[in-house]
A and B are shown apart, each in its own frame.
Chain A
């Protein structure tokens, strides 16, 4: 029989060989990109913020379309998440964009549980992906990824500091999703106040240990711009879908009696920076971070919670399977126990019921006997009565016959004369 021998080069690393000519594998990135283009991309954004901060408008402005939906009311009983999916296309790139909005965030009187529904939602998406990954027959290749890649947290432009609701929510979310804080409706703050506000916000975030998403600076091509942008966080944005004529161009702007705030003017607001960072430079990195950091963390926690441990070097492979088997057996044991208990209870109940029924039956029998006796008594009485009536009748009949006899005799005596008379009458005729 043949045997194998796997020999590897000394040292784990591979040797570097120079190429003597053009081989052609520099087309690999192109092949990869073409494949991805055919497959399409997907991107999911979560917008968290109080009602009325301009989340929907900002989304419209960012992606330059009018996503549907009317402004929500302020009287929601709890925080709900509404998600909408859109198909966008630019040149040959298809993007499946999902925008998730928090409805009713910050509107309740007691806001302690506001963050819970958001965390639940994010976890549900991770769970769905985990389920798909653990399936036996899985279709990861064509799976529609609904995990949230970026979370835009809208901070109200008070100018002072973060609200406690903001801090609490961001702290809960920072290990689950990439948070990008933005200052909404920033045309309400003046420039000087804005810088102070930003510094205050960043210091508060740092002192509370909230980890917001930092743009990656390890790739030289984008390191420079990313590090500058990191210094501008949080972005102060203004959203607008209305267009105003400035000079001889139509630009997106908000028109006030005292001037116009141009959305795409870098001096007026950081909208352009946000768009750059979110879409044009780091979209892929956001997706990767979601998958490699946040999702992996979730997966690890979930599996450890279920009791699985990693293999140690000399245990058999598929410890997951074994632990699962053990757990299953445990569970089956428990099930059986419960079943036994239930059966016992059932038997007991049946006995009790039987006893009761027997009692009832006995009662019924007694009743029946009583009734029968009663009936018999009645019958007897009636019989007696009937008998006495019969006797009376007989007596009466006797008397009657006796009376008739007497009458006949009397008639006989007088009847012969009647006869004679009759005879004469007959002879007469």
Chain B
């Protein structure tokens, strides 16, 4: 059995049978060392269970048309996951209203299976009058929370509730180079309260490095001035270590990304990039653009964290709100049976 990783036997004084385990009375007692029992095998058990169950990730991309959303998705997941690639009848016309199109994919890597859902929002910000264009999106997000809530309060509920809640929303900022537009500010302000927002500067190859830094600074200032908390949110940092890592990330947002799904030959290697007359932009080169940071943040390091924040904070807030809405009568009551709050 591979699980029987042998830990070194700690020699113990005879007849003592190990040190005393502290009895916990409402707090943590000092930890006890003793020769190998095998408790850490639970990590392996967890891992096995996780691999068997697979993971789910739902990403929403929001931005005006032509900003390279679909290409970026394809680049992120190294396969044709975007709406345009998936739908045979890909419309090139800009829709008259904001639509929400959600496409699911099963991907697997090294035995880890993931159900990836990409939610696209064609038509966002494309009309002449863009008032309330965030409403369909907010409704969609709340609908997913609602579906999860309904399933959760069922009497006969499924063993594993299918998670269709939007974990992360990538917002594409057009590379004007000046500052955020009112549409961007409005949208991000409203949505940062219900979902994790990761703002990115799209098509960043139109900005020089100085312009990019200036733009980023302006954006950060505006986000701060409007009280918009994008992922990673400052208030959800758990400990000093988290804070350190997240501070570094917060210094860099919004990420300036370039997407591409075509490979070119650069220095003898085939790399993803964009070829222009004056040079080739390498997507995964951090000197050229910050795509690699975005990918690391989203997938390699913070994916679980993103999902946890969605389920334990955003979803809980929705649940509280929803239960309070239906509960205004009960709020006035006294002498409720038991102490059950619903």
Contact = CB atoms under 8 A, between A and B. Distances in A.
Contact of A15 (B15, B17, B40, B106): B106
Contact of B31 (A21, A94, A222, A275): A94
A7 B31 contact: no
A310 B105 CA distance: 31
Contacts of A86: 21-24, 29, 32
Contacts of A320: 153, 342
Interface residues of A, number: 104
Contact of B139 (A4, A24, A94, A131): A4
Interface string B1-41: 11110010000101111111111100011111111111111
Nearest to B317: A137
Interface in A243-288: 243, 245, 250, 275-276, 279-285, 288
What is the interface of chain A mostly: helix, strand, loop, or mixed?
Answer: mixed
A24 B2 CA distance: 25
A169 B86 CA distance: 58
Given A23-B299, A65-B21, A3 B136 contact: yes
Contacts of A70: none
B24 to A, nearest CB: 5
Contacts of B320: 136-137
Given A17-B81, A28-B114, A300 B156 contact: yes
A91 B103 contact: no
Contact of A24 (B24, B79, B300): B300
Contacts of B76: 23
Interface residues of B, number: 116
Nearest to A94: B31
B51 A29 contact: yes
A310 B299 contact: no
Given A23-B109, A28-B303, A304-B155, A90 B48 contact: no
A66 interface: yes
B340 interface: yes
B48 A221 contact: yes
Interface in B135-181: 135-136, 139-140, 146, 150, 153-157, 159
Contact of B38 (A4, A87, A279, A318): A279
Contact of A85 (B14, B16, B23): B23
Given A243-B15, A280-B3, A14 B39 contact: no
B275 interface: no
A20 interface: yes
Nearest to A27: B300
A26 interface: yes
Interface string B230-247: 000000001000000000
Interface stretch (A118-126, A324-332, A419-427): A324-332
B326 interface: yes
A428 interface: no
B104 A8 contact: yes
A309 B296 CA distance: 46
Given A64-B37, A275-B38, A279-B38, A243 B299 contact: no
A232 interface: no
Contacts of A314: none
A24 B296 contact: yes
Given A85-B24, A243-B17, A33 B43 contact: yes
Interface of B: 1-4, 7, 12, 14-24, 28-43, 45-52, 55, 57, 76-81, 86-87, 97-112, 114-117, 123, 127, 132-133, 135-136, 139-140, 146, 150, 153-157, 159, 238, 295-296, 299-305, 308, 312, 316, 319-320, 323-324, 326-327, 329-330, 333, 335-337, 339-342
Given A19-B78, A20-B79, A23-B299, 4 more contacts: A25-B114, A25-B303, A88-B21, A134-B342
19 contacts: A9-B103, A14-B104, A16-B105, A16-B108, A23-B78, A28-B50, A32-B47, A33-B50, A34-B304, A35-B305, A65-B34, A85-B24, A86-B21, A87-B24, A89-B32, A241-B17, A242-B15, A243-B14, A284-B42
Interface of A: 1-9, 13-38, 41, 60, 62-68, 84-96, 131, 134-138, 140-141, 219, 221-222, 225, 241-243, 245, 250, 275-276, 279-285, 288, 292, 296, 299-300, 303-304, 308-311, 317-318, 320-321, 324-325, 328, 331-332, 335
Q: Which 10 A-B pairs have the closest CB atoms?
A: A14-B104, A89-B31, A284-B45, A31-B304, A280-B38, A241-B17, A4-B136, A26-B110, A280-B41, A24-B300
